[in-house]
Amino acid sequence: MIPLFDAHFDLLSEISFKRNQGKTHVFKEDFYPILRDGGVKILIASIYLGDHQLKHPFYYAMEQIGCLHEELRESPELIMLIRTKEDLVQCKASDKIGILLSFEGAEPLLKPRDLYVFHELGVRLLGLSWSRRNIYADGCDYSGDAKKGGLSSAGHELMAYAKKLGIIADVSHLSDEGLEDIMALDVPFIASHSNAHSLTPTPRSLKDKYLDVLKEKDFALGVNGAHFIITRDGKTSSAEDFKAHVAYLTEKLGEDKVGIGLDLCNCLSVFGRSDHSEPEVISHHGESQELLKALEDELGPEITKKIAFDNWYNFFYRHLS
């Protein structure tokens, strides 16, 4: 079985949704068997807030993290939170599935110094914006008529705190101007779930002019499997589409900078799409090995293992304290 490091999954939204309905042991009962069958070893779990939660962002983020910590206490034999390089190594050597915590939008940070609080709770990655504007940065614009900007002065202050704490920036939902601002800083950063604009020209995809620069940066990228970012029509998604993005991005960035960030949402009831009505490259993590086998047939076992696990693992081994 090929181990998988998936750099983007909305695990916390689903866990908090189900725990608020009275369910316990959500990870053990609803996720672990599927993740195990798919060979998933490490997940980056996002702290994502819907528009309806933005009036009280700090509260909802704390609720999600609190629910995760309840799960960690309930199933310590199955799941662990990765805070340090030592945790990363321990996770790889164990039978547990490791979780790295990330902001998918920095709205919960009412002030930049709040990052200290979330760092103590285990957050190690920072996506400054989702696809909308906040006080720190503009996200990528789908409307075509929104004002576009990069990092605000508060965003630059937040990045200074992140650098001090060793928290890694994630640019997957940033505007192009925000990406340029991050690229100008002396920090490692990632695009956890992004694809190639040349293949899929959406606001969420990275243009060649940036890929050419990112090749020389301390950077890694996760190829996204969601239907709306993997194909031009935004309606279909297949292993062939996924392989095309992997091949293109590997050519542009090199085989050591490309990983996987599946962004599987159709298996999550919190978003109302658990009927799999919108096709993604796979329906759930239990099918991961089929996708990885398709990559292996195309790229060979050595490069496939790098993309599936090693590249992300090596990036975080370098940058976690």
* Residue ranges of domains in the chain: 4-319
Whole-number Å distance between alpha carbons of 83 and 65: 14
Q: What angle in degrees, to the nearest 10, is found between the helix axes of 153-165 and 176-183?
A: 50
Contact 68, 43 (CB under 8 A): no
Provide the pLDDT for residue 172: 97
Output DSSP code: residue 177.
H
What is the C-alpha to C-alpha distance for residues 197 and 176, in angstroms, rounded to an integer?
12
The low-confidence residues of the chain, meaning pLDDT below 70, are 143-147, 269-278
How far, in Å, CA of 159 to CA of 95, rounded? 35
Q: Is the pTM of this model over 0.85?
A: yes
Beta bridge partners of 127: 104, 170
46 vs 58: CA distance, rounded Å: 15
Q: Report pLDDT for 277.
A: 56
DSSP 166: T
CATH class of 4-319: alpha beta
CA dist 238 and 179 (Å) reads 28
Cα–Cα distance measured from residue 210 to residue 192, given in angstroms and rounded to the nearest whole number = 15
Phi/psi for 97 (5° steps) reads -95, 130
| Rounded distance between C-alpha atoms, residue 232 and residue 257, angstroms | 24
